[in-house]
Amino acid sequence: MNNPSEITVRPARHVRGTVQLPGDKSISHRYAMLSGIAEGSSRLENYSTGADCASTLACMRALGVKWSRIEGPSNTIEVHGSAGSLVAPSAPLDCGNSGSTMRMLSGIVAGQPFTSEMVGDESLSRRPMQRIIGPLSEMGAHIASQDGKPPLNIKGGSLKAIDYKMPVASAQVKSCVLLAGLFAKGETRVEEPLRTRDHTEVALRAFGAELNRKAAGAGSEVRIRGGQRLRGVDARIPGDLSSAAFFLCAAALFPGSQLTIPHLLMNPTRARLLDILMQMGLHISVTQMEEIHGELVGSLQIEGAALHGTTIAGADAAALIDEIPVLAAIAPFTEQGMEIRDAKELRVKESDRIVALAANLRQMGAEVEERDDGLKIPGGQSLHGAQIDSHGDHRIAMAFAVAALRAKGDTQIRGAESAAISYPAFFHTLEELTER
């Protein structure tokens, strides 16, 4: 029997249908923040339905930004920009489970003439923040933390531009420094060691800011001048590619599957999953490609086929960081298996995803080798239904719901409610697409 925190997933024959995805989580966060500091109002259609993006909106409200939900099916938010005049929050800014909210918003509040306290839930309180405390302190903010972890007390003020070479490839850190750079005196330069998602750069331009970008080795460098004003935009946020990953991988498990996903984000810094799944044997075609406010969007048609194994390492590990959980969950069903390397960042996500993946795969009877920076999962395995522990992590809960479709017997996902962090309707939609 199902209850809100435990959901049973039964084996399937294939997945078929059309799925409209809620707006991309990464873009929703950025649009909520930028529209909040812009001049004029913004209308954000298909805003993410996840709890993380609601945390960002709640923090913006606490900073004095007025916004409202527009009645209707398309989850539209209207934001009245503060034109950069945020107000001191009267209570701690609660980022919930959302690392993106805490890290990116820190960049904005660091540039304000007041003090903000940023707090998060138990999982967020364990996550590393030194990576943003370092550059923001260099820019002139005064930040107190619990040994580099939340809560953060950020005494903002006038910032100075810096030249920052990021030691870890993280789009959140890059975004944090760029957003602080918007409030700093001078030109801030950020260099990333590997190319990470570029939604902040794309969104800043959509909101009217000028920035310079160029390739730098395997990564990129971005420069932004402080003191620029943003203006609001009306936008429809494209479907979330990292949420689509669960259905793509579900389709990949069954040769008879057929899926259509319209209006999906196709940004090249996010779409590596499509190349990898095609290399693994999935048939994917893209139609109706268009560019909306600088983001590529398209309609995807997918047909399942026999699945080859693969290796994910180097730049791919960074590009696929949010999709590795579901790729690992389908790995035992591939012909040659999967090796995942250079993915140590998985250990500091909403859970230690290397531990959570290895433990749950074993729980389903799979053979798996856990390594410091990844996993090795042999192919050609058959799995049985089991009790899965989501570790309170949305992507672990959803990844194992996908693996459960190919297992023998039923699987119970404990902590299934964590899917609501990014995709509240996930289990409902999965059920609708599944044929037994």
Torsion of CA 174, 177, 180, 184, to 10 degrees: -130
Burial of 186 from C-beta contacts in 10 A (0-12 / 13-18 / 19+): middle
Binds ligand S3P (CB under 6 A): choice among 21, 26, 320, 343: 26
Burial of residue 20 (CB within 10 Å: 0-12, 13-18, 19+) is: middle
Interface segment toward ligand S3P; rule CB under 6 A; list 170-178, 297-305, 365-373, 409-417? 170-178
Question: Could you list the active site residues?
Answer: 322
Instruction: Compute the distance between CA of residue 272 and CA of residue 261 in angstroms, rounded to an integer.
Output: 17
Three-state secondary structure readout of 222-259: EEEECCCCCECCEEECCECHHHHHHHHHHHHCCCCCEE
Smallest gap, in angstroms, from Cβ of residue 200 to ligand S3P? 7
CB of 190 to ligand S3P, least distance (A): 13
CB of 23 to ligand S3P, least distance (A): 13
Q: Which of 10-18, 34-42, 71-79, 165-173 is the region at the interface with ligand S3P (rule: CB under 6 A)?
A: 165-173
Q: Is 170 in the site for ligand S3P (CB under 6 A)?
A: yes
Nearest residue (CB) to ligand S3P, 178 versus 375? 178
Instruction: In angstroms, give the least distance from the CB of 147 to ligand S3P.
Output: 19
Q: Which is nearer to ligand S3P, 346 or 404 (CB)?
A: 346
- What is the contact mask toward ligand S3P in residues 64 to 103, using x (rule: CB under 6 A)? ------------------------------------x---
Q: Using the minimum distance from each CB to ligand S3P, give the nearer residue, 204 or 366.
A: 204
Q: How far apart are CA 135 and CA 138, in angstroms?
A: 5
Judged by CB under 6 A, the number of residues near ligand S3P is: 10
Q: Where does this chain touch ligand S3P (CB under 6 A) — which range of 169-177, 226-234, 381-389, 399-407?
A: 169-177
Residues 186, 189: Cα–Cα separation, whole Å: 10
Secondary structure element (H or E) that encloses residue 214, with its range: strand 211-216
In angstroms, the CA 154 to CA 141 distance is 7
First to last CA, the chain: 18
Beta bridge partners of 164: 190
197 lies in the site for ligand S3P, by CB under 6 A: yes
Which one of residues 211, 321, 356, 364 is an interface residue with ligand S3P (CB under 6 A)?
A: 321
Please report whether residue 171 would count as binding ligand S3P according to CB under 6 A. yes
Report the site for ligand S3P in 232-291 (rule: CB under 6 A): none
Rounded CA gap, 361 and 73, in Å? 37
Minimum distance of ligand S3P from residue 175's CB (angstroms): 6
If one asks whether residue 35 binds ligand S3P (CB under 6 A), the answer comes out as no
Name which of residues 343 to 372 contact ligand S3P (CB under 6 A).
Answer: 345
Contact 69, 46 (CB under 8 A): no
- Plot region of 241 (φ>0 → left; ψ -120 to 50 → alpha; else → beta): alpha
At a CB cut-off of 8 Å and minimum separation 6, what does 309 contact?
Answer: 280, 331, 334, 335, 336, 337, 338, 379
- Cβ at position 171, least distance to ligand S3P in Å: 3
107 alpha carbon, distance to own chain's centre: 18
- Residue 417 makes contact with ligand S3P by CB under 6 A: no
Options 35-43, 166-174, 357-365, 375-383: segment touching ligand S3P (CB under 6 A): 166-174
Q: Which residue has the tokens 């799979």?
A: 366
Residue closer to ligand S3P by CB (options 175, 243) is 175
Residue whose CB is less far from ligand S3P, 171 or 396? 171
Residues within the interface to ligand S3P (CB under 6 A): 26, 100, 170-172, 175, 197, 321-322, 345
